[in-house]
């Protein structure tokens, strides 16, 4: 039987969304009346068909059953965890790299004093969680010794772990374990839990919330001609299979976030396809995180208008992602994004 996928589309936001939901003309995303949709796109590896929600009953019996099950996941209320509030969109995961070589801010916050100040700045600007990382995973980077990684982040963690809600950006199980014992609220593993085979045992033992990110290859080689049969559906299937595997080994909780991994083993075409069609991942039933901040796709599109901070491209892509119901954005420039969101909301609700 051909596999079909359901992508919620034609979203409404703000006052207009509330009015349509009240009239039962659109379906609220995760019971949030401020964002809703009135069409779905039914996708296979050979076809696409967009239909309005009032035409779903006209589908064949089996397809109608699947689409309705997907819509149930898309519209189901999300339970809050890890300091995130899923009654609102978006939540912001603030980026704190304490590395000398991260792609956009390497060396900027790799002293204790600067890192702590920046963490508080991110939080006070509106980040729900601060994502601290001691190993660069930019394209071309090489893995570092776990003792060095822990040395970079431990002095920061010990200073602020009881003062700020923290996420830990690491691929290594021993680093995860140490961070969890200090009260880390979320594990963010860019390898999709593939780098260290002990990671799954740590996450199972401590029942810690975590992010599954998709990445093709390792940071050292992931941008060497990345290839997919269909990047959107291949990555969807990766998450679907990974969740089934996690369930099979006894990780039963739903405190899981999925991240398609913009820029991790993807070229511009792949990244644009993923961002444009990001709402397909709602039918997996888990919150979506996107790391679009300052990414290379902004440079590739803007070309001569590129800047080091890439705030313009970050803000443009962030507003689009918000309009597609993405629950979490991983952001360097939290204050600037919050400014943009406030202006956007005021305009759309005027």
Query: Any idea what the CATH number is for the domain that residue 328 is in?
Result: 3.20.20.20
Specify the range with the lowest mean pLDDT, choosing from 213-217, 329-333, 346-350: 213-217
- Whole-angstrom CA distances from 270 to 45, 142, 221 are 16, 23, 17
pTM value is 0.94
CA-only gyration radius of the chain, Å: 20
Let me know whether 136 and 257 are in one domain.
yes
Let me know whether 46 and 156 are in one domain.
no
Show the DSSP H helices in the chain as ranges: 15-22, 61-75, 112-125, 146-160, 173-181, 199-206, 231-248, 268-276, 296-302, 311-323, 334-348
Let me know whether 16 and 148 are in one domain.
no
**Three-state secondary-structure class, residue 57:** helix
Which sequence positions are flagged as catalytic?
295, 330
Let me know whether 207 and 263 are in one domain.
yes
Q: Which of 126, 127, 74, 118 is nearest to 96 (CA)?
A: 118
319: in domain:
yes
pLDDT of residue 101: 52
- For the segment 320-343, the average pLDDT, to the nearest whole number, is 97
246: in domain:
yes
Choose one of 30, 51, 75: the last residue of a domain.
Answer: 75
How many domains does the chain fold into? 2
**Tally of CB atoms within 10 A around 234:** 15
Angular region, 140: left φ>0, alpha ψ -120 to 50, beta rest:
left
pLDDT > 90 in the chain, percent: 85
pLDDT of residue 327: 98
* pLDDT above 80 for 112: yes
145: in domain:
yes
The string of DSSP codes covering 261-326 is -TTSS--HHHHHHHHHTGGGGGGGTS-BEE--TT-HHHHHHHGGG--SS-HHHHHHHHHHHHHTT-
pLDDT of residue 143: 75
Let me know whether 163 and 263 are in one domain.
yes
Let me know whether 208 and 261 are in one domain.
yes
- Compute the distance between CA of residue 123 and CA of residue 142 in angstroms, rounded to an integer: 30
Let me know whether 161 and 210 are in one domain.
yes
81: in domain:
no
C-alpha dihedral over 268, 273, 278, 283, to 10 degrees? -140
Residue 41's domain comprises 5-75
- For the segment 105-115, the average pLDDT, to the nearest whole number, is 73
- For the segment 63-71, the average pLDDT, to the nearest whole number, is 97
Q: How confident is the model at residue 218 (pLDDT cuts 50, 70, 90)?
A: confident
Q: Are strands 5-13 and 166-169 parallel, antiparallel or unpaired?
A: unpaired
* pLDDT above 60 for 33: yes
Let me know whether 164 and 211 are in one domain.
yes
Whether the link from the prior residue into 105 is cis, omega within 30° of 0, is no
120: in domain:
yes
Choose one of 16, 47, 75: the last residue of a domain.
Answer: 75
More confident residue, 11 or 220: 11
Let me know whether 34 and 158 are in one domain.
no
Backbone angles phi, psi at 141, to 5 degrees: -75, 155
- Compute the distance between CA of residue 261 and CA of residue 221 in angstroms, rounded to an integer: 15
* pLDDT above 90 for 182: yes
- For the segment 49-69, the average pLDDT, to the nearest whole number, is 96
pLDDT > 70 in the chain, percent: 95
- Compute the distance between CA of residue 70 and CA of residue 284 in angstroms, rounded to an integer: 8
pLDDT of residue 102: 47
Let me know whether 21 and 162 are in one domain.
no
Q: Are strands 27-29 and 32-43 parallel, antiparallel or unpaired?
A: antiparallel
pLDDT of residue 73: 97
């Amino acid at each position: 039987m051909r596999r079909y996928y359901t992508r919620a589309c034609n979203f409404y936001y703000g006052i207009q969304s509330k009015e349509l939901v009240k009239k039962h003309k659109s379906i609220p995303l995760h019971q949030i009346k401020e964002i809703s949709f009135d069409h779905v796109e039914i996708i296979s590896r050979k076809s696409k068909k967009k239909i309005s929600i009032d035409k779903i009953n006209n589908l064949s019996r089996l397809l109608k059953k699947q689409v309705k099950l997907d819509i149930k996941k898309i519209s189901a209320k999300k339970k809050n965890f890890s300091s995130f509030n899923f009654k609102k969109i978006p939540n912001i995961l603030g980026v704190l790299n304490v590395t000398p070589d991260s792609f956009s801010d390497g060396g900027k916050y790799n002293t204790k004093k600067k890192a702590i100040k920046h963490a508080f700045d991110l939080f006070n600007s509106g980040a729900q969680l601060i994502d601290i990382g001691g190993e660069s995973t930019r394209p071309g980077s090489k893995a570092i010794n776990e003792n060095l990684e822990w040395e970079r982040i431990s002095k920061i963690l010990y200073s602020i772990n009881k003062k700020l809600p923290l996420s830990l950006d690491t691929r290594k199980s021993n680093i995860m374990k140490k961070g969890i014992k200090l009260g880390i609220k979320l594990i963010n593993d860019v390898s999709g839990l593939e780098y260290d085979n002990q990671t799954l045992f740590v996450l199972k033992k401590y029942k810690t919330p975590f992010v599954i990110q998709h990445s093709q290859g390792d940071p050292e080689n992931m941008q060497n001609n990345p290839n997919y049969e269909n990047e959107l559906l291949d990555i969807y299937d990766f998450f679907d299979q990974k969740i089934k595997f996690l369930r099979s080994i006894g990780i039963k909780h739903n405190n899981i976030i999925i991240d398609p991994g913009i820029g991790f083993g993807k070229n511009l075409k792949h990244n644009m396809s993923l961002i444009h069609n990001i709402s397909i991942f709602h039918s997996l039933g888990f919150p979506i995180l996107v790391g679009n901040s300052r990414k290379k796709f902004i440079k590739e599109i803007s070309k001569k208008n590129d800047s080091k901070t890439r705030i313009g491209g970050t803000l443009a892509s962030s507003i689009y992602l918000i309009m597609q119901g993405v629950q979490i954005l991983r952001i360097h420039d939290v204050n600037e994004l919050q400014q943009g969101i406030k202006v956007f909301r005021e305009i759309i609700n005027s």
